[in-house]
Amino acid sequence: MKIKALALISGGLDSLLAAKLIKEQGIEVIGVHFKIPFCKLDIKKSLPDIGIKLIEFDLDTDFLSLISSPRYGFGSNMNPCIDCKILMFTKARELLQELKADFIVTGEVLGQRPMSQNKQALRLIKQRSGLDDLLLRPLSAQFFSPSLAEREGWVRREKLLNFNGRIRTPQMQLAEKLGISKYANPAGGCLLTDPCFSKRLKELLQHRELNLDNLALLKVGRHFRLENNSRLVVGRDEGENKLLVQLAVPGDCLFFPPKDLAGPTSLARGLITLDLIHLSSQITCSYSDSAGLKDMEVSYRHIPGTKDNLYKVACLPKSRFVHLLI
């Protein structure tokens, strides 16, 4: 009987090493990547070829309720790492039968992360997800009791490792030995560990505006809280300007500088009054190449409309609205 494992792939080095180690023992390995709205990593572009099939699953909706009130709290920022892992491992357990796999592999290293990879947290995650014996952590397996895969002889325990702590030299040496030269940074691209993004997310939760559209917007530009029910996002470069146009939904307002001047696209969302259109136009003007100009005509468009309206405003010194910056 061919034994099959599901390897949870974050895109970081540890999960790649764990999957590769199990594959090297003759096990068929299927990579599973769970997409959450806070990951800035494009797994299909960044994943090196380690000889495994990769399947992606979207956890956006599940994560919305989790981030609002995580049972086990947050880390140093807005990262609910324990709850996140329990969610992913629970979903992975549900996939075992569907994908006809025998056990789960993860790249967790004992002691690497203070919140979610201490021995107590690792035990809790295994139990709460319902995986128990079905979970194998190859990089630190020597610190734990043998899993089902080891006891059944599907994998050889003596070929599993005893990595421990935050020093990553052993992982990099193993990567070189296994021929893995391309991999993402240790944080795995999770925006919830970023202080600036976490501040924006916390502010969004405080205003009860948590939804997938607003989460997508959090990743882009400079953010201003105009009033209690409205915000403005100002693009910082051409790529963000284009992305703001793509992220606009019905009810939003887009603002553009004159075509002959360099400047940002801005997006206003929420309850947008005439006064806020005026303020949004002024802020857009202030980030434009308006040197020497007292006034500027800013174009604005109500989505889903396609007609641009002109609004003549005086450029506002940044000191006049810096208190609105989130």
Indicate if the alpha-carbon torsion angle 126, 131, 132, 136 is positive or negative: negative
At residue 186, the pLDDT reads 56
- Flag whether 105 is in a domain: yes
Chain segment 249-285, per-residue pLDDT in tens: 999 999 998 887 888 999 999 999 999 999 999 999 8
* pLDDT tier at 145, thresholds 50, 70, 90: very high
| Contact (Cβ atoms closer than 8 angstroms) between residue 215 and residue 78 | no
User: Which has more pLDDT, 312 or 140?
Assistant: 140
Average pLDDT over residues 224-242: 96
Residues 134 and 231 in one domain: no
Residues 146 and 100 in one domain: yes
Mean pLDDT taken over the chain: 91
* pLDDT tier at 293, thresholds 50, 70, 90: low
Residues 260 and 307 in one domain: yes
**Is residue 85 pLDDT above 90, yes or no?**
yes
Residues 275 and 161 in one domain: no
In DSSP notation, 8-63 reads E--SSHHHHHHHHHHHTTT-EEEEEEEE-TTB---HHHH----S-EEEEEE-HHHH
At residue 225, the pLDDT reads 97
- Flag whether 106 is in a domain: yes
CATH number of the domain bearing residue 60: 3.40.50.620
CA distance 69 to 31: 29
| Contact (Cβ atoms closer than 8 angstroms) between residue 262 and residue 289 | yes
Domain around 284: 220-324
Residues 6+ apart with CB under 8 A from 326: 199, 200, 203, 223, 224, 225, 231
- Flag whether 314 is in a domain: yes
Average pLDDT over residues 128-148: 96
Residue spans of alpha helices (H) in the chain: 13-23, 43-46, 60-68, 81-98, 119-128, 148-151, 169-178, 195-206, 212-218, 238-247, 274-286
- Flag whether 52 is in a domain: yes
Residues 81 and 226 in one domain: no
- Flag whether 202 is in a domain: no
Structural domain tally of the chain? 2
At residue 180, the pLDDT reads 87
CA distance 318 to 304: 30
Chain segment 164-200, per-residue pLDDT in tens: 998 889 999 999 999 888 776 654 568 888 899 999 9
